Amino acid sequence: MRKTTTLIAVLVIGGTLLPGLSHASDNGATRITVTLGDYRFTPHQLTINSGQTLVLELHNTDSITPHNFTLKNRDGGLDVDVDVPAGGQREVELTPKVPGSYTFYCSKKLLFMKSHRERGMEGTLVVTP
Ligand SMILES: [Cu+2]
């Protein structure tokens, strides 16, 4: 409960912060806020050193459109699939160990419509050695 309150506070204050701002938190993890809205991720390129823990704060800024963050790569040991409801936020933690360039995207699609990914909702996670 306390965490929820903190996140809401961050969201309110966060209006003045730049999207994609990252910083090392207390436990050594790198924290990056990614905005999901208007069929794009902001920022759409994320960079992390291999073995470094990355905490992604996913903020859906759309008022009615649900989004998703999917990052799956067996060789890279990555398996993330998180739904972020309209106006909501989710936090996901990952520790990529294999250097490389990995594509993430939104898996949402409405029947008879282009998928969000086809509309450009994808990005790249670069894991440096
Ligand atoms: Cu989407």
Mean pLDDT of the chain: 86
- Tally of domains within the chain: 1
Which residues have CB atoms below 5 A from the ion given as ligand 1?
Answer: 67, 106, 108, 116, 121
The pTM of the full predicted model, rounded to 2 decimals, is: 0.79
Is residue 119 included in any domain, yes or no? yes
Q: For the segment 35-45, what is each residue's pLDDT rounded down to a tens digit?
A: 999 999 999 99
Is residue 9 included in any domain, yes or no? no
What range does the domain containing 53 cover? 22-128
| 27 Cα–ligand 1 center, Å | 31
d(CA 115, CA 109): 4
| 129 Cα–ligand 1 center, Å | 30
Q: Which residue, among 80, 122, 126, has the nearest Cα to 104 in the 3D structure?
A: 122
Give the rounded percent of residues in the chain with a pLDDT score beyond 70.
79
pLDDT at 114 over 80: yes
| 64 Cα–ligand 1 center, Å | 11
- Give the mean model confidence (pLDDT) for residues 65-90: 97
| 122 Cα–ligand 1 center, Å | 9
| 39 Cα–ligand 1 center, Å | 6
Is residue 94 included in any domain, yes or no? yes
Is residue 10 included in any domain, yes or no? no
Is residue 6 included in any domain, yes or no? no
| 8 Cα–ligand 1 center, Å | 22
Is residue 122 included in any domain, yes or no? yes
Q: For the segment 51-75, what is each residue's pLDDT rounded down to a tens digit?
A: 999 999 999 999 999 999 999 999 9
Is residue 78 included in any domain, yes or no? yes
Domain of 64, CATH number, reads 2.60.40.420
d(CA 92, CA 114): 26
The DSSP result for the chain, as a single string, is -HHHHHHHHHHHHGGGSPTT-EEE-TTS-EEEEEEEETTEEES-EEEEETT--EEEEEEE--SS--EEEEEEETTTTEEEEEEE-TT-EEEEEE---S-EEEEEE-----TTS--TTTTT-EEEEEEE-
Q: Do residues 67 and 106 make contact, with C-beta atoms less than 8 angstroms apart?
A: yes
